[in-house]
Structure 1
Amino acid sequence: MDVSEYLNDLSVRDLLQRVSDDPSVQSLPEYSWFANELASIDEGFKVLLIRGPLIRPEEHRWWRRSLPAVGRTDFVTDVKERYGVELTLVD
């Protein structure tokens, strides 16, 4: 996966935020469960991003501000080419 594919995959998180922010969804009895599950998943994702490079400091969506600090060859190479940042290579 390269950076474009990674950023495209983040569109799912964007959609989840739009759902979470929708007043009609917030009025549903299941909303509390949904919000708690999303918060739990987000906590795990934040751990992956906390040590990664900040690429978009002005971005209001926290999940789009940084990249993971590690990646496979295609991702690491693409990040170096696009942002001039070196990530840790993992197999």
Structure 2
Amino acid sequence: MAADSVLQQVPSAEIVILGDFNAHHAEWLGSRSTDHAGRSVYDFALAYGLTQLVASPTRIPDTSPLDDIHVQNCNKAKLKLIKLYNCE
């Protein structure tokens, strides 16, 4: 796994994984069911001590900017812990 490789090189790495995974798990956001993608993402998060930051569903109307919705719905205290890096 890529995460194993990163953690071997930098054991104290702080990892942030962003994306729209379209994964549903009963433990997250009140989802009524768990699908294969949800189980995979959930198990990965548990294995690596990762935390789900989004506090509410991100389904949006066509008139709303997606990035704005993700930032507004995140747990604000945890979001402040994320530092922006310029990767080239």
Say which structure is richer in strand: 1
TM-score, shorter chain, exceeding 0.5: no
Say which structure is richer in helix: 1
Higher relative contact order (CA 8 A, sep 6+): 1
Larger radius of gyration between Structure 1 and Structure 2: 1
TM-score, normalised by the number of residues in structure 1: 0.25
TM-score, normalised by the number of residues in structure 2: 0.25
